[in-house]
């Protein structure tokens, strides 16, 4: 994990280096014993110059920040020094939260310049399939359509995900099912959606063999994927965010680590705006404090991932049902993805009103490669 410096309430520390303190003490002790104060004076000058350089650097940074804030076009009603301090604290706490809670994940992006093969990681299109097992069907016996598949043999290795094989996510092709195969009342029965893991992937399957299976791009009224898209997978890092149930606990711990403040924070923005004048704690300035990703609870395109922290348009419904709390691992999160090509003004994926989908699994089931129990849910604005 990337190391981040600790921060005090004030970034200025007259003597903050252990080496500097040791140098002064050693030369002072030597001067007292020998009566020769030369080296003590030299070390004192060195420490003074080092402190002056840090002070000058800090003042330059603060001046630059003030200028940037004034030029940002934000309606700033809070004194600029107070706002700059709050932004600095917000960023320091975000760094500390990354240090405390950072975890590796697989991040995914659409590669518009590559046409995927049957065995590639992709959204939509025809699925690779092992014809030794039955193809998934919904409650009415309709063949399902592929939403997403990942070939672990092509992806970076990240435990506890498999190192090889293929994981696929299907939903119903029912033209009247507008819930993307999601169960009512947050049930986990895979009636109109299916998660399938193939331990082995071969090249024996051809396009002709799977061409009759329904595809999302053929059911654009009810399907969340509008084409077949190759997906690039890289190893990434994620940290806790405000949508996570233990965020405030971790935020309070970060504050204690950085500032030695014993506080139980209920609302991070309330804490960060403590010094704001009354009546100005909900203004435009708070948007400047929430720039780091840890303060964003809603999904964006960069949150197309596996094993990181979930984000929600509305709420984490696992909090309302004790039976769902065992689904503690984010198996997959697919947000709405825009098609940013010149010839398009639409989307590649769309879950309701610019929403997202998540698959959760228990860590133990993932270790066992048991994908029969998965909590699937979608949300939108």
Tell me whether residue 5 is in a domain. Answer: no
User: Does one domain contain both 288 and 302?
Assistant: no
* 93, 293 Cβ separation under 8 angstroms: no
Structure-token pair, residue 271: 């804490």
User: Does one domain contain both 230 and 319?
Assistant: yes
Can you spell out the DSSP letters for 233-282? EEEEEE---TTSTTHHHHHHHHHHHHH------S-HHHHHTTTSPTT-TT
DSSP, res 27: H
Predicted model pTM: 0.78
Tell me whether residue 356 is in a domain. Answer: yes
Q: How many domains does the chain have?
A: 2
pLDDT(353) > 70? yes
Residue that finishes a domain, picked among 261, 277, 293:
293
| Interatomic CA distance for residues 28 and 38, integer angstroms | 10
User: Does one domain contain both 172 and 266?
Assistant: no
* pLDDT the model gives residue 17: 56
Can you spell out the DSSP letters for 195-216? EEEES---S---HHHHTTS-BG
Query: At 320, which helix (H) or strand (E)?
Result: none
User: Does one domain contain both 176 and 70?
Assistant: no
pLDDT(243) > 70? yes
pLDDT, tens digit (0-9, with 9 covering 90-100), for 33-76: 777 777 767 777 777 777 777 667 656 655 555 555 555 555 56
State the pLDDT confidence band at 265, using cuts at 50, 70 and 90. confident
| Interatomic CA distance for residues 121 and 49, integer angstroms | 57
Of residues 16 and 227, more confidently modeled: 227
Q: What is the mean pLDDT of residues 138-163?
A: 96
CATH number for position 143:
2.30.320.10
pLDDT, tens digit (0-9, with 9 covering 90-100), for 210-233: 999 999 999 888 899 999 999 999
Backbone angles phi, psi at 325, to 5 degrees: -70, -15
State the pLDDT confidence band at 8, using cuts at 50, 70 and 90. very low
pLDDT, tens digit (0-9, with 9 covering 90-100), for 172-207: 999 888 899 988 777 789 999 999 999 999 999 999
List the single range of 15-19, 156-160, 235-239, 248-252 with lowest mean pLDDT: 15-19
Distance of CA 183 to the CA centre of its chain: 26
Tell me whether residue 6 is in a domain. Answer: no
Tell me whether residue 9 is in a domain. Answer: no
User: Does one domain contain both 207 and 323?
Assistant: yes
pLDDT(19) > 70? no
Q: In which residue are the tokens 């233990």 written? A: 246
State the pLDDT confidence band at 23, using cuts at 50, 70 and 90. low
Tell me whether residue 69 is in a domain. Answer: yes
* 309, 333 Cβ separation under 8 angstroms: no
Structure-token pair, residue 367: 């270790």
Tell me whether residue 44 is in a domain. Answer: yes
Q: In which residue are the tokens 């009224």 written? A: 221
Average pLDDT, the chain: 84
* pLDDT the model gives residue 142: 95
Instruction: Give the angle subtended at the CA of 339 by the CAs of 333 and 342, to the nearest 5°.
Output: 160
Of residues 330 and 19, more confidently modeled: 330
User: Does one domain contain both 45 and 191?
Assistant: no
Q: What is the mean pLDDT of residues 139-146?
A: 95
User: Does one domain contain both 210 and 148?
Assistant: yes
Q: Domain range holding 98?
A: 18-102+242-293
* 144, 173 Cβ separation under 8 angstroms: yes
User: Does one domain contain both 303 and 281?
Assistant: no
User: Does one domain contain both 231 and 124?
Assistant: yes
Helix (H, G, I), strand (E, B) or coil at 377: strand
* pLDDT the model gives residue 15: 43
User: Does one domain contain both 208 and 314?
Assistant: yes
* 293, 308 Cβ separation under 8 angstroms: no
| Interatomic CA distance for residues 74 and 55, integer angstroms | 28
Helix (H, G, I), strand (E, B) or coil at 25: helix
Tell me whether residue 179 is in a domain. Answer: yes
Strand order in the sheet with 103-111: 193-198, 166-171, 145-151, 122-123, 229-238, 103-111, 305-306, 329-335, 356-361, 375-379
User: Does one domain contain both 369 and 249?
Assistant: no
Structure-token pair, residue 126: 């025809």
| Alpha-helical segments (H) within 102-171 | none
Of residues 104 and 1, more confidently modeled: 104
Residue that finishes a domain, picked among 293, 310, 334:
293
Structure-token pair, residue 29: 């002790």
State the pLDDT confidence band at 369, using cuts at 50, 70 and 90. very high
Tell me whether residue 11 is in a domain. Answer: no
User: Does one domain contain both 287 and 306?
Assistant: no
| Interatomic CA distance for residues 87 and 272, integer angstroms | 8
Residue 313: name the closest of 360, 349, 353, 359 by CA: 353
List the single range of 208-212, 285-289, 365-369 with lowest mean pLDDT: 285-289
């Amino acid at each position: 994990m990337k190391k981040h410096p600790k921060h005090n309430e004030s970034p200025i520390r007259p003597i903050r280096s252990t080496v500097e303190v040791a140098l002064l003490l050693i030369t002072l002790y030597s001067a007292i014993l020998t009566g020769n104060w030369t080296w003590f004076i030299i070390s004192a000058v060195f420490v003074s110059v080092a402190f002056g350089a840090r002070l000058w650097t800090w003042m330059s940074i603060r001046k630059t920040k003030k200028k940037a804030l004034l030029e940002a076009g934000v309606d700033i009603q809070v004194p600029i020094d107070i706002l700059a301090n709050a932004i600095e604290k917000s960023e320091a706490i975000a760094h500390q939260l990354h240090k405390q809670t950072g975890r590796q994940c697989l991040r995914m992006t659409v590669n518009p310049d590559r046409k995927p093969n049957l065995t590639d990681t992709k959204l939509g299109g025809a699925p690779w399939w092992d014809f030794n097992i039955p193809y998934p069907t919904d409650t009415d016996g309709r063949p399902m359509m592929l939403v997403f598949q990942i070939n672990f043999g092509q992806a970076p290795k990240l435990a506890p995900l498999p190192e090889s094989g293929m994981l696929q996510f299907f939903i119903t092709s029912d033209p009247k099912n507008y819930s993307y195969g999601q169960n009512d009342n947050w049930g986990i029965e895979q009636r109109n959606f299916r998660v399938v893991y193939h331990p082995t992937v071969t090249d024996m399957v051809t396009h002709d063999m799977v061409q009759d299976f329904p595809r999302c791009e053929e059911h654009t009224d009810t399907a969340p994927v509008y084409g077949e898209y190759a997906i690039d997978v890289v190893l990434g890092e994620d940290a806790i965010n405000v949508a996570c149930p233990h965020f405030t606990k971790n935020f309070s711990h970060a504050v204690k680590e950085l500032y030695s403040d014993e506080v139980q924070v209920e609302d991070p923005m309330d804490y960060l705006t403590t010094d704001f004048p009354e009546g100005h704690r909900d203004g435009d300035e708070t948007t400047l404090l929430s720039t780091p990703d840890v303060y964003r609870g809603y999904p964006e395109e960069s949150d197309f991932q596996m094993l990181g922290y979930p984000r929600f348009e509305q709420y984490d419904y696992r909090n309302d049902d004790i039976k769902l709390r065992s689904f503690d691992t984010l198996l997959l999160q697919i947000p709405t993805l825009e098609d940013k090509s010149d010839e398009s003004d639409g989307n590649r994926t769309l879950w309701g009103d610019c929403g997202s989908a998540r698959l959760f699994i228990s860590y133990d089931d993932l270790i066992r490669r048991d994908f029969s129990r998965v909590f699937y849910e979608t949300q939108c604005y």
